[in-house]
Structure 1
Amino acid sequence: MFKANKYRLVITFDVEDWFTNGQSIKVDSWGNYELRVEKNIDRILKLLDETKTSATFFILGWMAEKLPGMVKKIHKLGHEISSHGYAHELVYLQSKNEFRNDVRKSKLILEDIIGERIYGYRAPCFSITDWALPILAEEDYLYDSSYAANVFKKSHLSHFNSSKLSICNKIYNNFYEVSLPYMKINNLSIPWEVVDTLDYIHTLFMSGE
Structure 2
Amino acid sequence: MSRLVRILGHTVRQQRESRELTQRQLADLAGVSQTAVARIERGERAPGLPLLERLLAAMDVQLAVAVEPLDAHLDAAMADLAARPLADRIDELNLDRLLDRLGDLPHVVSGAAAALLQGAPIPVDAPEVAVRWRDAARFTRWLEAAYGQRWNARWGEFGGVHVDPEEPGEHRWRTRYGEIRAAMCDELPDAIEVRHGERGYRVVPLVEVEVADPRAAALLRRHRERR
- Does TM-score exceed 0.5, indicating one fold? no
- TM-score calculated relative to the size of structure 1: 0.22
> Which of the two has higher C-alpha Rg?
2
Higher helix proportion (structure 1 or 2): 2
- TM-score calculated relative to the size of structure 2: 0.21
